[in-house]
Amino acid sequence: MILDEPTNHLDLESITAFNNALKDFPGTVLFTSHDHEFTQTVANRIIEISPNGFIDKLMTYDEYIENDKVSQQKVALYA
């Protein structure tokens, strides 16, 4: 399933129900989102794509943004 900003225009109750449904979804979901909580709740793999390459990590979003090794890779990626 491919989703682009799936929580836009949803109320809090709908977002919660949607998060719970995606956590139990047995397939693969590829999504883009500016919603930090949604990304942290649903994603278990983060892929950041830039014009100079990509970073692909099996971790939660908070782990991704707090990881020093990832930070170093991002500096090199965007240099």
Query: pTM for the whole thing?
Result: 0.84
Question: Residue 79: what pLDDT?
Answer: 85
The domain of 20 spans: 1-43
**49 and 39 both lie in a single domain:** no
At residue 9, does pLDDT exceed 90?
A: yes
Q: Residue 1's pLDDT band (boundaries 50, 70, 90)?
A: very high
Average pLDDT of the residues in 4-29: 94
Cβ–Cβ contacts within 10 Å for residue 7, how many? Answer: 20
Residues 34-74: tens digit of each pLDDT: 999 999 999 999 999 999 999 999 999 999 999 999 999 99
**59 and 34 both lie in a single domain:** no
Backbone φ and ψ of 57, nearest 5°: -130, 135
**37 and 72 both lie in a single domain:** no
Gap between the terminal Cα atoms of the chain: 33
**54 and 34 both lie in a single domain:** no
